Structure 1
């Protein structure tokens, strides 16, 4: 991989303090941003899938991707010459409580490259233990790796800010996991995903340093982050640090509004899982809304309190930003200025969320009545279990003035149409009456409006049952469905008539199946 190696340009390890201890033992790491570590060799590595688009983005040729060296490097079996893999040190608030040091417990960063004026960090997930693995083995299993690989790329093509995934491989090793944390562990097939992002820095990277009152390293890390990822903000100063926090806040908000738009639920929005670049990071027990439900969470650990439910994601984004504001305060020393940014997050969410929902309903010329129309639509969606993706996508076919086709259009989105009562039917008919009147104020034709609506309402998303079907096949050595879904989700807004079978409600067999409804953090 001679061409690829020429792009290596490491800054994280050359500009930030390293853990001086080289022994790979579980421990507390102080006054350092990372620890050097070597990936674990695997028994029989085999590549399952590689992203052609990301190969091109990283400047890796197709021939290089088919080489033995590529296989070994991106499964942890060979270290690129002149590089030193490392695990990042960070802490975090987990479910609202400070958890102390966490760090890359099963992620190992290989190197950084710079290609076409873009910087990328490459990281293996599931490549073995690190000083931050605590009591775990640092490995990952095939089911979680398939989910992360497919969803990373699916989110990118949906237009949601995200880390990405270059490759997916099985290791040939067996990994012991207790899927539902019920005392019944079983061996599963091990796997490794190569994750790619400009940086994997998180809110927790800064939090840990502040919690230890390590002001020197905190400033060094903040200056590094601004220099490489927010260079337009200028040289370090209190004003620059404040502008940095503002930009992080705005990026975080944009990401979450996009999550809400497509019905994505992260499942575990701890501060160690929030990117300092506003990217979706750490695809663990995530899920996609099937029935539209603000109270739904995919995470079994969150089942009781539902802290990370769909409707609470914007609030949790703000809560996490409060923690970051506290961390950065010593660099800024202006409570009012920080509070103004946090207050702006609240008002900007209201504005951006309304605009996003207008676009989903095809309301492109703002009217005061829009908010009530949107709220009433959401209420109607929850009167019967109604599939979010199908309902919004199908709504684009509504013709203003044609009241007869309103409710009939979205009938296929109802999970139990037999539960429709005359009262619910009247609510829907009344809503479509108002919707039709509202559309009369739009200058766009029905076809033009439909085209714009279909650009924000995806037809295809990675429903959990789809992932599970691919996982079931992959565990039998059949990776065809992984490839089919990967290619389907590259064009989520297109009709793709040959793939119509995936534009369907979750099948009933998947309603309560492990991996299809609720998921654990076990991977």
Structure 2
């Protein structure tokens, strides 16, 4: 493969001077050199061909032995020296100290069409940051990450990407539900791609150790490479940088809320400094609309990372990043102003986003009340978020109501899990909300067709529901990868009707309600 190598991270930032690969505390270094563990018998499962084109990789190269060898970790790219990144983090609200790339190894940075990409293998073996773990990953979690990374990009959500998914040929021991029932599973490797994998925790590690020199080097590097509109090495530049990170983070979260995505483990080490969705572990999409839902079994009690709390957790994480950057700025006022603005800015951006989901292009005085009423009503009965908003676009704005009219519900009836059990009081609330919504539509100048077109641009028809990913996992365990291919193609056009794919526009089936992998997920991978 003729890839243009342009390593900036490892050239411009300090490396760990210890070249041995064993778990340890690393000081005064942004990364440690380490090679992937050679897989026993690699096999290519799937390639995101459109991403490959963006990286300058041809179809002929995809089908080569070199592609499989490089992106499974069997052989290194010429003139490269892989490494694992050092970072720390707050996990579930508690300081966890040094973490780092425990099962991810950066192969290289490449440049194509004036874009810089970092290529990283996840599940490629132990690193100095693996602690007591094996640094490997299993097929089930790798399928979920591979498909979701690409699905999110096509949804328009800022995200890291996934180039390829390979089997390693190794067996990996995992306790899927942390209940003492460990079992061997197929090992797998995902090739992740992003402009950078720097996280909030990358800055926290040096601030926690009082290593201001390395903190400054990392921050200046990040500004120069990814935020060049700001001046590195100055307090103003550092504040501008932090403000833009806050804006990017806010934008990402608004997109999450728009499509009903729940990350599940928003630790500071899982927060990208570029505002990208990173580390797809126990994620999920809302099936029944429930602001208190989290897909993470580890978070079942506190529900810290529930859907409705994601905006506030992002702010909490930004506070921790601000603390990490403080030694470079040495004044709190500017940082506090940015953090205070986050809440105001989020409320504005969220309102605008919800207006777009409802097809309200003009600003109405009662829009906030209308939206809050909708969110409250959606929670009264199990209602599929994706189907509801997609079908809401079909309601004609000239629909007439009389006192007992419930015909408006027919347009969204498929979104209810048990429509026959809707209580009279719930029906009444829906009737009142629908009337308010149709009254509000009268202020819009769009025709029904034009409004539907606008709403369908922001309300996806297809998302990667957990049961869909689990179906692909179950087939892949038996060597059948056809469903991975089918879902990849489906999720490339999530806003299109795709009539031949209509079977995927449906509520979660009852068999998946309590099935492991469909409703309950752990961090085990």
- TM-score, scaled relative to structure 1: 0.99
Match of 1:269 in 2: 266
How many residues are matched? 520
1:247-283 per-position Cα deviation (integer Å, ceiling 9, x unaligned): 0000000000000000000000000000000000000
Looking at structure 1, the residues matched to 431 and 467 of structure 2 have their Cα atoms a distance apart, in angstroms, of: 32
Indicate yes or no: 2:126 matched with 1:129. Answer: yes
1:78-111 per-position Cα deviation (integer Å, ceiling 9, x unaligned): 0112100000000000000000000000000000
Looking at structure 2, the residues matched to 249 and 73 of structure 1 have their Cα atoms a distance apart, in angstroms, of: 36
Match of 2:256 in 1: 259
In structure 1, the residue corresponding to 2:5 is in which secondary structure?
coil
Of 490, 504, 507 in structure 2, the residue corresponding to residue 505 of structure 1 is 507
Match of 1:486 in 2: 488
Looking at structure 1, the residues matched to 280 and 260 of structure 2 have their Cα atoms a distance apart, in angstroms, of: 15
| 8 Å CA contact retained: 2:207, 2:327 | no
Match of 1:344 in 2: 341
Match of 1:406 in 2: 408
Looking at structure 2, the residues matched to 422 and 265 of structure 1 have their Cα atoms a distance apart, in angstroms, of: 31
Summarize the alignment of residues 325-404 of structure 1 with structure 2, pairs less than 5 Å apart: 325-403=322-400
Of 516, 519, 522 in structure 2, the residue corresponding to residue 520 of structure 1 is 522
Task: Give 1:137 shift.
Answer: 0.2
| 8 Å CA contact retained: 2:232, 2:238 | no
Match of 2:43 in 1: 46
Match of 2:474 in 1: 472
Match of 1:448 in 2: 450
Indicate yes or no: 2:193 matched with 1:191. Answer: no
| 8 Å CA contact retained: 1:398, 1:405 | no
Indicate yes or no: 2:207 matched with 1:205. Answer: no
| 8 Å CA contact retained: 2:322, 2:335 | yes
| 8 Å CA contact retained: 1:96, 1:270 | yes
Looking at structure 1, the residues matched to 189 and 417 of structure 2 have their Cα atoms a distance apart, in angstroms, of: 36
1:190-226 per-position Cα deviation (integer Å, ceiling 9, x unaligned): 0000000000000000000000000000000000000
Match of 2:294 in 1: 297
Of 427, 430, 435 in structure 1, the residue corresponding to residue 429 of structure 2 is 427
In structure 2, the residue corresponding to 1:109 is in which secondary structure?
strand
Task: Give 1:236 shift.
Answer: 2.3
1:399-433 per-position Cα deviation (integer Å, ceiling 9, x unaligned): 01214642111111111112211211111111111
| 8 Å CA contact retained: 2:392, 2:412 | yes
In structure 2, the residue corresponding to 1:231 is in which secondary structure?
coil
Of 112, 117, 136 in structure 1, the residue corresponding to residue 114 of structure 2 is 117
Cα distance change on mapping 1:146 and 1:17 into 2, 3 Å: same
Match of 1:288 in 2: 285
Task: Give 1:302 shift.
Answer: 0.2
Looking at structure 1, the residues matched to 467 and 103 of structure 2 have their Cα atoms a distance apart, in angstroms, of: 26
| 8 Å CA contact retained: 2:139, 2:186 | yes
Looking at structure 1, the residues matched to 78 and 54 of structure 2 have their Cα atoms a distance apart, in angstroms, of: 22
In structure 2, the residue corresponding to 1:232 is in which secondary structure?
coil
Match of 2:403 in 1: none
| 8 Å CA contact retained: 1:37, 1:130 | yes
Task: Give 1:371 shift.
Answer: 0.8
| 8 Å CA contact retained: 1:145, 1:193 | yes
Summarize the alignment of residues 90-239 of structure 1 with structure 2, pairs less than 5 Å apart: 90-239=87-236
In structure 2, the residue corresponding to 1:321 is in which secondary structure?
helix
Indicate yes or no: 2:88 matched with 1:88. Answer: no
In structure 1, the residue corresponding to 2:167 is in which secondary structure?
strand
In structure 1, the residue corresponding to 2:272 is in which secondary structure?
coil
In structure 2, the residue corresponding to 1:267 is in which secondary structure?
coil
Deviates more, 1:61-70 or 1:261-270: 61-70
In structure 2, the residue corresponding to 1:227 is in which secondary structure?
helix
Task: Give 1:235 shift.
Answer: 3.8
Superposition misfits of 4+ residues, deviation over 2 angstroms: none
Of 313, 317, 323 in structure 2, the residue corresponding to residue 316 of structure 1 is 313
Looking at structure 2, the residues matched to 30 and 335 of structure 1 have their Cα atoms a distance apart, in angstroms, of: 27
Give 5+ residue unaligned stretches, structure 2.
Answer: 401-405
In structure 1, the residue corresponding to 2:364 is in which secondary structure?
coil
Give 5+ residue unaligned stretches, structure 1.
Answer: none
| 8 Å CA contact retained: 1:145, 1:191 | yes
Looking at structure 1, the residues matched to 231 and 496 of structure 2 have their Cα atoms a distance apart, in angstroms, of: 41
RMSD across aligned C-alpha pairs, in angstroms?
Answer: 0.7
Match of 1:495 in 2: 497
| 8 Å CA contact retained: 1:401, 1:437 | no
Looking at structure 2, the residues matched to 476 and 12 of structure 1 have their Cα atoms a distance apart, in angstroms, of: 40
